[in-house]
Amino acid sequence: MSFPRCALLWARLPAGRQAGHRAAACSAFRPHFGPFPGALGRIPAVATASSSASGGSKAPNTSLFVPLTVKPQGPSADGDVGAELTQPLDKNEVKKILDKFYKRKEIQKLGADYGLDARLFHQAFISFRNYIMQSHSLDVDIHIVLNDICYSAAHVDDLFPFFLRHAKQIFPVLECKDDLRKISDLRIPPNWYPEARAIQRKIIFHSGPTNSGKTYHAIQKYLSAKSGVYCGPLKLLAHEIFEKSNTAGVPCDLITGEERLTVEPDGKQAAHVACTVEMCSISTPYEVAVIDEIQMIKDPARGWAWTRALLGLCAEEVHLCGESAAIDLVTELMYTTGEEVEIRTYKRLTPISVLDHALESLDNLRPGDCIVCFSKNDIYSVSRQIEIRGLESAVIYGSLPPGTKLAQAKKFNDPDDPCKILVATDAIGMGLNLSIRRIIFYSLIKPSINEKGEKEMEPITTSQALQIAGRAGRFSSQFKKGEVTTMNREDLSLLKEILSRPVDPIRAAGLHPTAEQIEMFAYHLPDTTLSNLIDIFVDFSQVDGQYFVCNMDDFKFSAELIQHIPLSLRVRYIFCTAPINKKQPFVCSSLLQFARQFSRNEPLTFAWLRRYIKWPLHPPKNIKDLMDLEAIHDVLDIYLWLSYRFMDMFPDASLVRDLQKDLDGIIQDGVHNITKLIKISETHKLLNLENLSPGNQSRLSGTLKSQTRRTRSTKTGGSKAAEPSSPDAGEISLASRLVQQGLLTPDMLRQLEKEWLTTRRSEHGNEKTESGTYSKGTRRKKKEPDSD
């Protein structure tokens, strides 16, 4: 290569690269000018690792760092400049150099100083090696260094700056760790609400058990104020205050995630508003604010909404209603804002007692009884058994639409209605006024989700037990004294123990990253998925001891569901905050379909939605049909929720709301006839046998068929149901798995065992009758493997 050509190629390099590679370029001119003094040092001159230190922060969880793909370079329009300056690289020699580089302990230690632990270092090296080996031409700087190393004019350690540069390309979080830590710093949350900090608020905590009048006194203050906001945990509670306020002559608007109602004819906002706690405005000034069920500030998923309301509402007086367990935490939080808390304590208005005997049999039910179950299967089983006894029951569980819950509550409360028994989940714990005389816990084991998002099966907490038991004998009901007991005798002592324990004080309040914080994260990590952004944010976040970051598994589930849909980050974030039941496949697929339509800029019209849900819908014929209708109701909720965020793309909210009311009526009719639906479902298929292994199906098929024809006994003989032995000693028994999954109850299991034994005796008796007594030399025919 001629010297003028070499000079021309050198002139094409950017000025920064010229300076950075001057020493390395010396080797390129070595054939013309001989060796140059001052060989490159063994350890490259890179910025000290301390510059990227986190200042004592916890080490990040590097398993959350998902490597990006860096494609090898193809042919360059300018040709291979590095090869022209030096000479083409021998790929075999380069591979040996890279392997030597990887094995050097000094390099691994230096990588660790820059945040590359063993896992990241390995992944970065694999990507770096592939990039070097597969590129048609390399950048001039790295080409020259590799060439020098091949000719022993440079040391293998001189590759480290290029390796680190590549590592930061595939793991961009390494480049901006300090910035990310600042963005995700969730310490001192009171400073996020300058408008609330600009006024001196009066905080009044109304503390007391269920049915003590604490919320009543707070609402009276709300109604007498010039302006006010009520923040409740449920749509039902917001509706109740909305109606109560307007009935009292105080104009009040309603705001929930799915609904906006204004009472002023011109659409002007009223001075009072009842809303769900997530929807409260932290910029509107009020005279009085009421935050109901303040103890839910500890909720693993929704606690952030109570924290936001408590710290951010701009109200002269903030009235908190809830358990005494929250007093200490609220006092500590308000100390950080410079606000004092006034405590007002209330006692229960009517007496309540735990009975000394369990119900034991549904034959002992009386009018005003409420059986509390913690699974739908128990709800169905108990309702069916009550119907067999000639009694009528109302049914309330969480996935029912609000209108259906209210209709069932009205039916149960009506003294002229023949329905005198209520079967419900803990959904009755708040939001419904019920005339209950006796609460009967069908079980004390409740599935729950912990702060890590893991499912647990544990006895209910004292707080939950008190909340549910307190529904008996309410002040406004016809029963002035409440009673509590259990279905099983063995559970009664545990219930008494749970109710006698002091409620554990609440230790921390929930926090949640805002859309703005996630957008700033995405600015630094533009190629990272939203789900991964959330994981990294939570990992990098720093909180004070009085706070925790709420579980975001539902958010991440939605983010992963719609990840492949092309949406802007803000739109994607809003879609992911839409409340969905991820256990319902149709609801999940509907969110995906809505996002896909949105990305195409195709409005989701009323006509399109009718076709999508296949309207008109028919009354349910079995339990599965009822569950499908509940899922469709949830889909309409998602449409309404999104319609208030994207009015142009979801334009027909009023029509959809009318459609939802019609659907609510269909579901109400189905629930009214729920025992008939259960009976039909039992006749066709009691359990979903497709989920069982073939061997287990054959073992249980005869039992399940007989189970559909027999009435289940309600008496319990012991706290532990006898379980069939597992065919494999190392596996959990089938019975245990079915109970854990909620497909079987202990009562059903005991009955199955009895019927199984009865069937077996009957089969043996028939065999002896048909065959007579076997003679000595006669051998019985060998059974087929599946005959049992």
What pLDDT score was predicted for residue 298?
Answer: 96
Check whether 722 has a pLDDT greater than 60: no
How much is the CA Rg of the chain, to the nearest whole Å? 34
Band of pLDDT at residue 114, cut at 50, 70 and 90: very high
Check whether 27 has a pLDDT greater than 80: no
Q: Report the share of the chain in percent with pLDDT over 90.
A: 69
How many helices (H) and strands (E) the chain has is answered by 32, 18
Which of the residue ranges 14-23, 130-139, 227-236, 382-391 would you say has the lowest mean pLDDT?
A: 14-23
Q: Token pair of 117, please?
A: 């632990």
Check whether 719 has a pLDDT greater than 90: no
Q: How far apart are CA 86 and CA 151, in angstroms?
A: 11
Which of the residue ranges 460-474, 607-621, 694-708 would you say has the lowest mean pLDDT?
A: 694-708
Q: Which strands, in side-by-side order, build the sheet including 369-372?
A: 352-354, 482-486, 438-441, 369-372, 421-424, 393-396
Band of pLDDT at residue 745, cut at 50, 70 and 90: low
The continuous run of DSSP H or E covering 547 comes out as strand 547-549
Q: Report the share of the chain in percent with pLDDT over 70.
A: 80
What pLDDT score was predicted for residue 432?
Answer: 86
Q: At what angle do helices 623-643 and 606-613 cross, to 10 degrees?
A: 160
With CA atoms as reference, report the closest residue to 341 among 355, 352, 326: 326
End-to-end CA gap in the chain: 87
pLDDT in tens, 587-641: 999 999 999 999 999 999 999 999 999 999 999 999 999 999 999 999 999 999 9
Question: pLDDT: is 753 or 138 the higher one?
Answer: 138
Which residues touch 80 (CB under 8 Å, ≥6 apart)?
Answer: 88, 136, 137, 138, 143
200 phi-psi bin (left φ>0, alpha ψ -120 to 50, beta other): beta
Note whether 541 and 510 are within 8 A (CB): no
Cβ neighbourhood burial of 161 (10 Å; 0-12, 13-18, 19+): middle
Q: How far is CA 205 from the centre of its chain?
A: 30
Band of pLDDT at residue 786, cut at 50, 70 and 90: very low
What pLDDT score was predicted for residue 712?
Answer: 37
State the pairing for strand pair 228-232/421-424: unpaired
Band of pLDDT at residue 650, cut at 50, 70 and 90: very high
Band of pLDDT at residue 666, cut at 50, 70 and 90: very high
pLDDT in tens, 156-177: 999 999 999 999 999 999 999 9
What are the b/e assignments for 321-336, b being 16+ CB within 10 Å?
bbbbbbbebbeebbee
With CA atoms as reference, report the closest residue to 101 among 140, 139, 131, 128: 128
Q: What average pLDDT does range 682-693 have in this prediction?
A: 46
**Rounded to 5 degrees, what angle do the CA atoms 360, 366, 371 make?**
60
Band of pLDDT at residue 267, cut at 50, 70 and 90: confident
In the chain, the domains with their CATH numbers are 62-174 (1.10.1740.140), 189-345 (3.40.50.300), 352-500 (3.40.50.300)
What pLDDT score was predicted for residue 743?
Answer: 60
pLDDT in tens, 538-588: 999 999 999 999 999 999 999 999 999 999 999 999 999 999 999 999 999
- Cα distances (Å, whole numbers) of residue 645 to 260, 568, 709: 12, 14, 52
pLDDT in tens, 39-55: 334 444 444 343 333 34
Which residues touch 255 (CB under 8 Å, ≥6 apart)?
Answer: 238, 273, 274, 275, 276, 279
What pLDDT score was predicted for residue 764?
Answer: 56
Q: How far apart are CA 506 and CA 295, in angstroms?
A: 8
Which of the residue ranges 354-368, 409-423, 440-454, 655-669 would you say has the lowest mean pLDDT?
A: 440-454
Check whether 82 has a pLDDT greater than 70: yes
Q: How far apart are CA 735 and CA 282, in angstroms?
A: 51
Check whether 495 has a pLDDT greater than 90: yes
Q: Token pair of 309, please?
A: 């309301």
What pLDDT score was predicted for residue 148?
Answer: 92
What pLDDT score was predicted for residue 57?
Answer: 64
Amino acid identity of residue 582, one-letter, is: K
Check whether 362 has a pLDDT greater than 90: yes
Which residues touch 623 (CB under 8 Å, ≥6 apart)?
Answer: 380, 674, 677, 678, 681
Check whether 199 has a pLDDT greater than 60: yes
Q: How far apart are CA 35 and CA 31, in angstroms?
A: 8
Q: How far apart are CA 438 and CA 279, in angstroms?
A: 35
With CA atoms as reference, report the closest residue to 423 among 396, 405, 404, 399: 396
With CA atoms as reference, report the closest residue to 479 among 348, 347, 369: 369
Paired strand residues for 663: none
CB count in 10 Å sphere of residue 595:
24
Coil vs helix vs strand at 17: helix
Q: Token pair of 295, please?
A: 């103890």
CA dihedral 184, 190, 191, 197 (to 10 degrees): 160
Three-state SS string over 168-234 comes to HHHCHHHHCHHHHHHHCECCCHHHHCHHHHCCCCEEEEEECCCCCCHHHHHHHHHHHCCCEEEEECC
Note whether 82 and 143 are within 8 A (CB): yes
